[in-house]
Structures are given as structure tokens and as C-alpha cells.
Chains A and B, each alone.
Chain A
Amino acid sequence: MKIAVSSEGPGLESQVDPRFGRAAGFVIVDMESMNTEYVDNGASQVMAQGAGIETAERLSALGVGAVLSGYVGPKAFTALQAAGMQIYQDLDGRSVGDAVRCYAGGTLNPATASNK
């Protein structure tokens, strides 16, 4: 399964971006191969409205199964749920690599409601 981590930069050493919809980008990690790729989210950052919804669409189209971020707004949360993705919040303040290790370690609980 692929997971997406909101990120301030392109690699595992980058900090987790606390924002979901207006995140700078996402590091996509294939949990089987551990290959990573970076998806720029700049187009959604500048939207007047609907950034979270558009970001959810972008990740859904990439076949992402779980999202790791800091804060996920209510509309984005609804959109991610509709897309069948698991949502992990409050992961800001650490590197993308640390967030992925937490997820891989199985200690994180998926969110049931928006934290924003």
C-alpha cells in the first residue's frame, strides 16, 4: 500500500507539514518496496477555497491508501473518508521518515474525526 505524508520538502528527512490541504507537497511511500516519490501540492496552496478537497482528490488519484499529516480540516476529512483512505493526524513536529517509522511500527491509531 502507498501512504502519503504531508511534507515541507521532497525527502524523508524533510519536516512533516502540519497542514494537509495547503501542504507544500507529499512524500509518497510504497510500504512494500519502501520507494519514495514527491508530489508537489503548490496548485492547491494558492486556491481560494477547496484546497483540502482538491488535495484529497490528488492523493486518491495516485492510489494512496493512508494519509499522515498534522491537521486535517473537516471537508478534507470527509473527502478522504469518501475515498476510503485512513487518516493519521497530529504527526507534525517530526521528520517524514520518523512519521513513516511510527506508522510502520503499528503504534498509530487512525483518526475518526477532523482535528481542526
Chain B
Amino acid sequence: MRIAFASGKGGAGKTTVAASLAAIWPHPCLIVDADVEAPNLHLFLHPHLEAAQSVYLTVPELDSEKCTACGDCAAMCSYKAIAKLGAGLIVFADMCHGCGGCFEVCQANALKKGKRELGSLQWGSWSLKMGADQNSDQNLNQALGQTSSQTSGKNSGKTLLMGKSRVGEAMSPPLLRAIDGALAAISVGDAASVPDILIDSPPGVSCPAMTTARMADALVLVAESTPFGTYDFKLAHAAFKKLNMPLAVVMNRAGMPGNESGDAALEKYCAAEGLPLLARLPFDLQAAEAYARGYLPLLEQSANALIWQRRFGLLYDAVQRWAGGKIGQIAEPCSAVNICASGTTGAGHA
């Protein structure tokens, strides 16, 4: 199953929630950093990264000897990547969105297929040492309410896929589609060999965030209950609910001093919209301090590591119930209809 973690506002806690869940995920699991303009999962998960694979967009290159300057390509380009100026044409390759239309309309065969680098994909393996003492596996299993035999061997050897936009590249959706292609390539075969995929989305509600959400089967919105956070969360909900996919909410920084009414307002909104509230993660200054040093709250370097392991263990349980048993056992992307039919997502996605 593919679950994306998104938010309207940046800094709501997507990376913390996605990475922490990946750390305790008791099934084969791939975590994807789809925030390609500012990837940061690798700063927390410390993967052993393999060589970066460049991703390219096919863009036109003009063969001026063959070009008859008819202007058909310039006329069809909505992005001004080709302009007719004076007697000739000129190509602005960095304006190109890669639709390929110019190649189709050129009768003179004067456009060659060039390429522009969009960025790169990079695979890595990682594992984190969890817990506040040496018995981290045991603590983890307690947190998950499982015996060690259930999770032993499954909890190590995790994989990360990072997308990284080229500095100066204006578009990220084509690179995100390359991530989607890479995920499709590993999502074949028997169910047991296909990992669950957790996707750390770009923030906001524009093309990068929507493109990423479309890769997933279900979407978890991480929401901060401050006035600013709630405003952006509502924007995000309004945008993502149009995708007709299962949506759920994780409230982050609950109980922030002075923001009690914010927590209540966010809960009321979720209830009114039929959005399952999977967890209320509390505001914890020590967790923020550990995070600022590059440690997830559930790692041994964090002051309240065991408590945070338990919290994320409970969140995992809630995600599993919400997903209606689709985690850790399916190869086919589960349809929104199936999950909605399980009755866990309320009436908000008809």
C-alpha cells in the first residue's frame, strides 16, 4: 500500500511522521522523499546512498538547416519554448514542459530530441538505532504490542528513494512522475515481495503536492493546530478531497501552550468533515530540539524516545485499522472505493 504524508503548511510534521512510522514499520517498507525541491529525509535516516541516476525531460533542438520557419511549432507551444522571431525560430529549452507537441507538428523533421536534466533519483538502504537503552528491539515490539518473533527480521533493511531537483530547474512534476515510474517498477511480483510505500510529500497544494498525492492510495494530512496551520490545513483538505482518495489527519503539536482553542477547532473541523483523526501528537520542546539536531523523536538521542516510540506505535495501529488491512499484504494498488467501503473514512469522499 502507498500512503503519502502531506500538509498545506510547510513544517507541520510530514517528515517527522513519515520517517518515524517508517522506522517502526513492521513490514517491508520503502520511504520516498518526494519533496524534491528540498529533500531532507536523508538527514534523519542516514541512508547508504547509491549513485544518483539523472532524470531528463525530452526537449526540442532545432536543426536550422532543415527548418523552413513555418512557425507551426511556435504557434502550438503554450509555454513559449519556441518563438518565431524575424526570419527564424529560436528554442528556449528551459521553458519546455515536455509535451512533445512540437515534434508532432513539424513537417520538415527539423526538431531533434534533446534533453534537459530535471534532477536525480537516488536509492539507499538505512536502519536506525532506536530506544533509550540497549533493548531497543524489545522496546519497539512493546510499543507495537507485538512479540519479537512477529517483527524480527522484518524491521531491518529498509529502503529510501530520494528525488532531488536540479538547482535552477523550475518544474518538479516531471521528476515526480519519474519517481512514480520507479515505484511502478518495484510494484510488480507477488504480494509478499512488494513493500509498503510511505511518501513524504512536498508542502502546499500546488502541482508538486497534487502530483505526489496522485501516486498514493491514501493520504495522511499532518496538521498543526495553530491559526496559520489550521488555515493551510483547510486549504489542503479542500484541494486533496477532489482526488477522491481516502484522507486522514494526524494532529501535530497538540496542547501547545495558549492554543487549546486551536486543538478544539481542528478536531471539530475533522469531525464535521468525516476525517478520521489518527493521532494527536503532543507539542514537545525536547522533541523539537532533538529534531533540530537531526534526530527523530523516537531515537535514543531524544529525551522522550520511548514515549515517542509508543505514540508512533499507536499511530501505526491506527493507520492499519484505517487502511482496512491493506498494509503489508497487497501488490495491487488498492482503490479508493475499496477503502471507503470499509467504512473507515466517513462520508466526506463520495
Contact = CB atoms under 8 A, between A and B. Distances in A.
Contact of B90 (A47, A49, A54, A82): A82
Given A78-B90, A79-B90, A82-B90, A56 B83 contact: yes
A50 B86 contact: no
B88 interface: yes
B85 A60 contact: yes
A83 B86 contact: yes
Interface string B201-219: 0000000000000000000
A63 to B, nearest CB: 10
Interface in B60-119: 74, 79-81, 83-86, 88, 90, 92, 95
A42 interface: no
Chain A interface SS verdict (over half): helix
Contacts of B79: 49-50
Contacts of B86: 60, 82-84
A75 interface: yes
Given A49-B80, A50-B79, A54-B80, A75 B85 contact: no
Nearest to A53: B80
Nearest to B97: A49
A82 B95 contact: no
A30 B79 CA distance: 31
A82 B85 contact: yes
Contact of B83 (A49, A79, A84): A79
Contacts of A53: 80, 83, 92, 95
A56 B170 CA distance: 22
A50 B88 CA distance: 18
Most buried by B among A47, A49, A75, A80: A49
Contacts, number: 41
Nearest to B88: A82
A50 B95 contact: yes
Contacts of A47: 80
Contacts of A56: 83, 85
Given A49-B79, A79-B90, A82-B90, A57 B85 contact: yes
A60 B87 CA distance: 10
B77 to A, nearest CB: 9
Contacts of A60: 84-86
Nearest to B90: A82
B88 A75 contact: no
Nearest to B89: A82
Contacts of A54: 80, 83
A103 B84 CA distance: 27
Contact of B84 (A50, A57, A78): A57
Contacts of B84: 57, 60
A88 B92 CA distance: 23
Contacts of B95: 49-50, 53, 75
A60 to B, nearest CB: 5
A99 to B, nearest CB: 23
28 contacts: A47-B80, A49-B79, A49-B80, A49-B95, A50-B80, A50-B92, A50-B95, A53-B83, A54-B80, A56-B83, A57-B74, A57-B83, A57-B85, A60-B84, A60-B85, A60-B86, A75-B92, A75-B95, A78-B90, A78-B92, A79-B85, A80-B85, A82-B83, A82-B85, A82-B86, A82-B88, A83-B85, A83-B86
Interface of B: 74, 79-81, 83-86, 88, 90, 92, 95, 170
Q: Which 9 A-B pairs have the closest CB atoms?
A: A50-B80, A83-B85, A53-B80, A83-B86, A82-B85, A82-B90, A53-B83, A60-B85, A84-B86
Given A49-B170, A57-B85, A80-B85, 15 more contacts: A49-B79, A49-B95, A50-B79, A50-B92, A53-B80, A53-B95, A56-B85, A57-B74, A57-B83, A60-B85, A75-B92, A79-B83, A79-B90, A82-B86, A83-B86
